[in-house]
Structure 1
Amino acid sequence: MSAELHTPAGPVRYAVSGPSASGRADLVLIHGWCCERSAMATLREEYGGRHRILEIDLRGHGQSLDAQDDGSMGVGYRRPVAGGTVPEALSRVRIEDYADDVRTLCARSRLHRPVLIGHSMGALAVLAALAEKPQGAHAPTAGILLDPAPVVSEEGKQFWADAVEPLRRDVSGAWRRAFAARLFLPTDRASRVTLTEAMARTRPEVASGAAAAMATFDGEAALRAVDRPLLVVHGNTAERAIGAVAREARVDLTSGQTVGSGHFIHLEVPDQVMPMITRWMRIALPAQDSGDRDSAEASGSSRSR
């Protein structure tokens, strides 16, 4: 069942599941642009039996979308409320706003040594949250970036800057459907239709505001400011300069690369992604107990997908 965090942009809905006293780091799952928390389901399924999991629908996305279910779009689909305007805090959202929500929910949920896992735009929220060097009992301790949106790539940022106005007018979702098609390889099979339609049904003002947020986010400055371990797992996006910046800034960054997958690597090739995450957590987070090491080894040897 979802709970709510009230923000100037409207409610942010989230859910917490899994064991509450495992002694292992809790995990926070942060989806990407115009997606929703269900897009991170493979991670919850993989780790939910051993780690406490916080799942978030970012501002204006998924169950945090101001919408009504009138049944006209099928079971589980919501139609945005006709008329009206979205709050300025939503149409002019910043990546830092998403990060603020993440940190607030870590504290509210009393998470234990939380590790932030973000995909695409969600990876930018991870960087923004860690760049603030949060302190306290429930502060994030590490971050995982899954095929991140542009962090230092000026070409990538310009793409999103150019997309802001077309997205604002994309009432039919046609622009987003065409964009989504580019995120998949011809051989990709996992959730293609579901992900595409999730993107298309997000309110245009939300899609446009989030695009502007990605275009203006100073990802390089955030990356340089991070003082906690990071893992980046690349798919097929063009963002490749992260490693060089991290080395120059002496950021503790480990890099990985998947094979045979488009952008949604955690859905298409979980058999590659999950062992990388598990191994990295085992090595980069030495405070984790020996039970985590045992479960990591069991996970690596038992996956058959």
Structure 2
Amino acid sequence: MKGADFADEVRKIVADSCLPTDRCRAHVEQTFLATPQHVLVSTFTSLFPWDVHRARECAQACRVPVLYIEAAHRLADLDRFAALCPQLVTAKAVGSGHFLSLEVPEQINPMIDRFISLYVRRPG
């Protein structure tokens, strides 16, 4: 991403994240390409050096309900996640790549609302 082929790499990242039917693909691509290169490089550099040991520690230490909404592209080992974090609640969106809230908000928003109504305590 740091080189002259920045735009091509961004297009590939977006294409790999989206389904061919995702309507938001052009918008996401335009947004990424409008972002200064150094900002996207910094963002992706901080996202990708995934530390599996740290992730395991965080999942085990978590004591609050967690909602994981999966897209068409599985990005997590949900069986392992559930074993480490038994309060994990999972859901799956239909017909969407990575950008769930842009592509299928009519599915995602009710899932989040339901999760909050069941697992988030209100004061008082």
Structure 1-normalised TM-score? 0.36
Letter in 2 for 1:186: P
Do structure 1's residue 168 and structure 2's residue 2 form an aligned pair? yes
Choose the corresponding residue for 2:61, options 217, 225, 229: 225
Question: How far apart in 1 are the matches of 2:85 and 2:16?
Answer: 34
CA distance in 2, matches of 1:228, 1:240: 19
Please give the alpha-carbon distance, in whole angstroms, between the structure 1 residues aligned to 2:45 and 2:110.
34
CA contact (8 A) 2:62 2:85 kept: no
1:252 aligns with 2:87: yes
Secondary structure, counterpart of 2:68 in structure 1: strand
Cα shift at 1:284:
0.5
Q: Deviations for 1:13-63, whole angstroms, at most 9, x for unmatched residues?
A: xxxxxxxxxxxxxxxxxxxxxxxxxxxxxxxxxxxxxxxxxxxxxxxxxxx
Structure 2: how far apart are the matches of 1:182 and 1:217? 18
Query: How far apart, in 1, do the equivalents of 2:104 and 2:29 lie?
Result: 18
Shift of 1:238: 2.8
Gaps of 5+ in 2: none
More helix, by proportion: 2
Counterpart of 1:214 in structure 2 is 47
Find the counterpart in structure 1 of residue 12 from structure 2.
178
Structure 2 partner of 1:269: 104
| Number of aligned residues | 121
Higher relative contact order (CA 8 A, sep 6+): 2
8 A contact 2:59–2:85 mirrored in 1: no
Tell me, which stretches of 5 or more residues in structure 1 are unaligned?
1-166, 290-305
Say whether 1:195 aligns with 2:28: yes
TM-score using structure 2 length? 0.80
Give the drift of 1:206: 2.4
Residues 77-226 of structure 1: pairs in structure 2 closer than 5 A: 167-170=1-4, 172-189=6-23, 191-218=24-51, 219-226=55-62
Change in Cα spacing, 1:248 to 1:215, as seen in structure 2 (3 Å) is: same
Question: For 1:240 and 1:229, how far apart are their aligned partners in 2?
Answer: 17
CA RMSD of superposed structures (Å): 2.2
Partner of 2:48, secondary structure, is: helix
**What does the per-residue CA deviation read over 1:164-217, in whole Å, with 9 as the maximum and x for residues that have no partner?**
xxx11146522102221222222221x332210111232333222222222224
Q: Go from structure 1 to structure 2 and tell me whether the alpha carbon gap of 1:170 and 1:202 turns closer, same or farther (over 3 Å shift).
A: farther
Change (3 A) 1:170 1:283: farther
* Partner Cα separation in structure 1 for residue 116 and residue 31 of structure 2: 30
